[in-house]
Amino acid sequence: MMSGHLKKMRAELDLTDPTKPVEYFLPLGEQELPLNQYIGKVLKLEFGGVINCQHCGKKTKKSFSQGYCFPCMRKLAQCDMCIMKPETCHYHEGTCREPEWGEKNCFVPHYVYLSNTSGLKVGITRHTQIPTRWIDQGATQATIMFKVNTRQQSGFVEMAFKDLIADKTNWRTMLKENQADRGLLAEAKELKGKLQENMSQVIQSFPADDIEEQVNDVLSIRYPVLEFPTKIKSHNFDKNPVVEGMLVGIKGQYLMFDTGVINIRKFTSYDVRVDG
């Protein structure tokens, strides 16, 4: 038995052996529970009714922006809308909520990538979050298309692709099966060709070499899944404090039980006890 406040699952991928599935760990306060060992076994998670803001630590009745109290959600730069829509960054207007945080997290290299999740998807991530970002989204394949100098630039590049390709994962489809492998490098080349004029305009609007086209290998990712659900039923600690059943798989940030699935990241900062 272990207990503590939840954080999103930590994942490890052995890049030297593509046959090995992702190793998952469930953070509970200062402890971590290795999860792969519970695949095929009964696991019980019980919410104790307490939520503490992951930033200030204060007790909150409701979690905002995945683990924050309402005041912190309103004041923290990492909870601002520009994190979801980087092209709306307003740092240059002098209105960033936390300029120092923005300088450390937004004015660093970012990548625009192509992945295979519930289908073909374009996305962005910081240079430090590869391959974590892809794993969190349940991607089975991914490759980098562009490297940029700032988060805002990644948003403009991503926007250029949105008319041709999704930028969101259909989580229900992602959990029901692994999509068939795709020729990501060929598809990336085709997309770039269709968007050559639009991308030229984006690239020319920034200093030289701020946006660089990349051609990388495709990373394949396997997940520890015994069986995929045919019908998705979601567990929700706000409606039922107990989640119990046989753990049949883990993919993205979801635990897949024979009784339903639960998005661990959604319940960041919830105080939970785990019995296995």
Q: Chain-wide mean pLDDT for the chain?
A: 96
Tell me the CA end-to-end span of the chain in Å, nearest whole number: 7
16-25, 159-168, 223-232: least confident range? 159-168
Mean per-residue pLDDT, 83-95: 96
Pairing outcome for strands 242-251 and 42-51: antiparallel
Mean per-residue pLDDT, 73-97: 96
pLDDT in tens, 254-273: 999 999 999 999 999 999 99
pLDDT in tens, 25-64: 999 999 999 999 999 999 999 999 999 999 999 999 999 9
Q: What whole-number distance in Å separates Cα of residue 185 and Cα of residue 83?
A: 28
Best CA proximity match to 139, nearest among 164, 163, 122 = 122
Mean per-residue pLDDT, 75-104: 96
The pLDDT of residue 1 is above 90: no
The domain locations on the chain are: 2-67+224-275, 74-220
The pLDDT of residue 18 is above 90: no
What pLDDT is stored for residue 163 in this prediction? 82
pLDDT in tens, 150-200: 999 999 999 999 889 989 999 999 999 999 999 999 999 999 999 999 999
CA distances from 18 to 62, 104, 261 (A): 40, 33, 26
DSSP-assigned beta bridge partners for residue 142: 115, 219
